[in-house]
Structure 1
Amino acid sequence: WLLSSYIYSIICILGLVGNLVIIITLTCKTKHKLKTYKTKNKLKIQEVFQLNLAITNLLFTVALAFLIYNELTSWPMGQAACKLLQGSYSINLYSGMLLIAGMSVLHFVSLCSPLYSLTNFIEMKHSFIVCVSIWVFALLLSVPTFYFYQLYVPTTSPQFVCEFQFEDHDLSQIVKVAVPSVQMAVGFFLPLLVIIVCYTSIIIKLLTKKNNLTGAVHTVTGIMLVFVVCHLPHNLTLLYDTSTMFQLVACEEADRLHTALSVTEFIAYLQCCLNPVMYGFIGKNFRQNFRKTFCSTKKLENGFSLYQSSTKSIRLSSFKKPPEDAQDSDA
């Protein structure tokens, strides 16, 4: 677990930095638009989805940092923190997938549907309502996580551990299988189906156009493949793990399954680092806003220092002794 903790720490750092950059850039652009267009206060719905996705990934990496600490040492923060952190981790996991699915629908509507002009007239409050609905739906999916995660001391270790705990009876075994199955079906496989259908339709639409849109096809294909490669292996492994709960599993197979879960989990967590690149820096408009936000700050600092130096030189020149010729002429 020591090597894994270093790898997860790198993921947390990259995820924090990348998503903070996205949030700062989009927030600064929002403030600029609010000041500039007071009568026409509208933002692109795509930017609202990007902002919510960045917030989701940021909170996910924060929760992930605490969960890594839980794996290395005894859980030090009590039962309430156990439920809160695991629940927030689950909320941000599912909301991130649902937001990506929503963005794929938005791309499909804007490129392949006659309703493409609809996205230009959706107000910011409407797009926020959609995003809040996604957050609420993710919260409902995470209710079992809040309920079943408990703080306990396992028989193999004297340290407190925060994990899923079920009562030892037949009904609990059914719940133990039903809960992750429903979460995977609604929280992953449904968004996966939406993403594949939307982006496949977009790729077909782009390929049928006469214009040279090879770069756009590669971008859309990359977005779809990144989601599939990151999350499909882990969810298939979880599905297999769930199917073996009513079976006796040999120790060697259990060890292999645990290793597979750890490796695929690491691959799934890479999504929070890749999202800022796939949904932010890859877009031309975002790169322009990024330069305006961070480069303009640097220019402002340089301009302020230049103003200070010029003001200082003017003040010094005003105190210089006048030349002798000027003194003689006055005399």
Structure 2
Amino acid sequence: MTDYEYYDNNSTLSFTSFVSVCEKVEVGHFSQVFLPCFYSVIFVTGLLGNALVIVTYVFYEKLKTATGIYTFNLAIADLLFLCTLPFWAVDAYNEWIFGTFMCKVVNGAYTVNFYSCMLILTCVSVNRYNAIVQATKTLNSKNKRFHSKFVCVGVWVFAIILALPEFILSKPDKTTCTMVYPPNSGSIIRVAVSVTQMVVGFLIPFVAMIICYSIIAKTLLQAKGFQKHKSLKIIVAVVVVFVICELPFNIVLLMQTLQIISEEASSCEYSAKVDYAAIVTESIAYVHCCLNPILYVFLGVKFKNSFLKILKDTGCISQKQLSVYLKTECETSQPVSGASEMTSMYPL
């Protein structure tokens, strides 16, 4: 979690200043109502979507492609990330009641899965570029799967390393679980954590998306005999959703970081407004975990086919209905030559 703090009737240290001390009763009351409700909705919807992705890949897709390996790891990162939200909902509504050890575990796990999610989104962008633009130069299927597994392991290890400050410095402080920084080097560590979050959590995946999807869009526009309009719409949707969900919070985070660097005391009114903005924009960023399954998996033809098989196995549809749909889908799908793994989906 970010380090904005809000206590009931206690004075609290403003996020944007180590000097100014303000009472933020209204901010605390707002968070007590807004955060538990919002977190509950995000948790339930995201849990259903990402769990369905994991079940489909484990029991039906069998992780046969590099694309499947990346999206499977993305679903795991989103799911584990979402599982920390109930703890933060209780923290916001009442206070942190789970002790120091769980504070370190939950805050660290939250950060690990946040970083791994953003880095895997970057890998997905590069993988789609390789599969479509560099289709004739890519490795064979077996080597691609091995390479993608190796990359995913590296992503998780790197995410754990980046989350070490959260594992080490997190502890209950008065009524909330937060990072408690050393008095001598607190501002330096705080700025370093914020800059890392902005670079890894927004800048890197955003740049990768812009570069890779721009070239992919150009390639699809030049392709013939392919229903490319849906793919182009998905490209736009992926980038737009990422920007809408992630950019507002990173702007607020940048404002907070610049305020720390300048070491200027801010007014209580300004500090409260920044806290409101941080609460709302960070919550909006969480919506991305619910939308990832839709943008990266649900719209794909292969996933639709596997999902229908799940419905058939659970008795929701008949074998005849499944056969009719699969036959219709087979007749209408026309993937780009040399990139069938990625373009058979419509979402790349």
**Same fold by TM-score, threshold 0.5 exceeded?**
yes
Paired amino acid for 1:60? F
Rounded Cα–Cα distance in structure 2 between residues aligned with 1:43 and 1:116: 20
1:281 match:
298
Evaluate the alpha carbon distance shift between residue 299 and residue 183 of structure 1 in structure 2; reply closer, same or farther with a 3 A threshold: closer
Q: Distance in 1 between matches of 2:206 and 2:130?
A: 17
**Change beyond 3 A, Cα 1:119–1:100:** farther
In structure 1, stretches of 5+ residues that fail to align are 32-41, 154-159, 303-331
If asked which structure has higher relative contact order (CA below 8 Å, sep 6+), I would say 2
| Larger displacement relative to structure 2 (10-19 or 114-123) | 114-123
1:15 and 1:61 in contact (8 A); partners too: yes
Cα RMSD of the aligned pairs, angstroms, is: 2.0
Superposed CA offset, 1:88-127 (max 9, x none): 0001111011111101101001111154542634364442
Aligned length: 285
State the Cα deviation string for residues 256-284 of structure 1 (Å, max 9, x = none). Answer: 11111112112100001101111111101
**1:231 corresponds to which residue?**
246
Which residue identity lines up with residue 13 of structure 1 in the other structure? V
Runs of 4+ in 1 over 4 A off after TM superposition: 114-117, 299-302
In structure 1, the residue matched to 2:234 is 219
Deviation at 1:296, TM superposition (A): 2.2
1:82 correspondence with 2:99: no
Show the counterpart of 2:128.
107
Q: Does 1:54 align with 2:54?
A: no
Residue in 2 that maps onto 1:35: none
Q: What CA distance in whole angstroms lies between the structure 1 residues aligned with 2:40 and 2:277?
A: 20
Give the Å deviation of 1:286.
0.5
**Which residue of the other structure, out of 172, 175, 180, is the alignment partner of 2:189?**
175
Question: Which protein is bigger by CA-based radius of gyration?
Answer: 1
Aligned position for 2:43: 12
Question: Structure 1 229/116 Cα, relative in aligned 2: closer, same or farther at 3 Å?
Answer: farther
Contact 2:118 2:200 in 1 (8 A): no
- Judge conservation of contact 1:112–1:201 (CA < 8 Å) in 2: yes
1:271 corresponds to 2:288: yes
Report % sequence identity: 33
What is the alpha-carbon distance in structure 2 between the residues aligned to residue 285 and residue 174 of structure 1?
Answer: 48
Pick closer, same or farther for the CA change 1:119–1:290 going to 2, 3 Å: farther
Structure 2 gaps, min length 5: 1-30, 320-348
In structure 1, distance between residues paired with 2:140 and 2:128: 10
Which residue of 2 is the match for residue 254 of structure 1? 271
Cross-structure match for 1:3:
34
Distance 1:266 1:299 in 2: 35
User: CA-to-partner distance for each residue in 1:28-66, whole Å, 9 max, x for gaps?
Assistant: 1145xxxxxxxxxx8101011111111111111111121
2:222 paired residue among 194, 200, 208: 208
